[in-house]
């Protein structure tokens, strides 16, 4: 009886181990496959929309352009450090469903190019992991945000590692809650370390250029930096 019980227990534990491995494979691999496919489709839609000669849609009170399509995407973010082909959609909100479709914009923070803090979040692992290499960004690296009307070029100015509850990093003036902003800045957040959510990796940037779309020259702004 004892031998049978031990054998049965072993079989159950083995089955559970296999199921856990399958779940891990799904979480770490399959979600990337699905998310990358979906995000690439949204990027193509935005690129097609931006290329049309048309009047941009209305802009919200805090500078958020009107969403394009049912997914709610309103901008593209390009980061040359991550590769010449890197492009991810920016969608309003930071909920689970939103972050599975791209980069999320913190509701209530400034819009692209606006005075204040344009704060965005992205997964570092799973669901396409748009900010997987966020720790590789260096001061002076460019983060380009495209909208239908204009393209905004930010340059990285620093980084922090904070606790998840330290929301001051997305204040209008980062880390100075209550202060009145006078410049346009960018904040990117993601989980830290990789495969954990115990901390947040935060990258800050400053707006250095606003370019009307009809004068936008990708070759000038999107050349990947040298390694280092």
Active site residues: 123, 191, 200
Indicate the pairing of strand 103-105 with strand 88-92. Answer: parallel
Tokens describing residue 37 = 């496919």
DSSP tag of 134: G
For residue 47, which of 66, 73, 80 has the smallest C-alpha distance?
73
CB count within 10 Å of CB 192 equals 19
Contact status, residue 177 vs residue 171, Cβ threshold 8 Å: yes
* Helix/strand/coil for 28: helix
Q: How many CB atoms lie within 10 A of CB 75?
A: 29
Strand partners of residue 120: 105, 188
């Amino acid at each position: 009886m004892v031998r049978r019980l031990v054998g049965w227990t072993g079989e159950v534990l083995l089955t559970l181990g296999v199921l856990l491995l399958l779940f891990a494979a799904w979480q770490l691999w399959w979600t990337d496959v699905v998310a990358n496919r979906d995000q690439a489709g949204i990027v193509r839609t935005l690129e097609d929309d931006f290329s049309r000669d048309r009047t941009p849609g209305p802009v919200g009170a805090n500078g958020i352009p009107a969403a394009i399509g049912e997914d709610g995407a309103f901008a593209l973010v390009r980061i040359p450090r991550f590769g010449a082909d890197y492009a991810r959609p920016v969608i309003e909100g930071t909920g689970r469903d939103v972050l599975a479709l791209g980069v999320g914009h913190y509701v209530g923070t400034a819009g692209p190019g606006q005075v204040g803090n344009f704060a965005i979040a992205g997964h570092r692992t799973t669901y396409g992991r748009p900010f997987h290499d966020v720790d590789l960004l260096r001061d002076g690296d460019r983060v380009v945000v495209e909208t239908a009307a204009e393209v905004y070029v930010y340059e990285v100015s620093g980084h922090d590692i904070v606790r998840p509850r330290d929301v001051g990093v997305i204040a209008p003036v980062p880390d100075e809650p209550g202060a009145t902003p006078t410049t346009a800045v960018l904040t990117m957040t993601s989980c830290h370390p990789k495969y954990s959510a115990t901390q947040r990796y935060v990258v800050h940037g400053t707006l250095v250029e606003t370019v009307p779309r009809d004068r936008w020259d990708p070759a000038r702004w999107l050349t990947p930096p040298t390694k280092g």
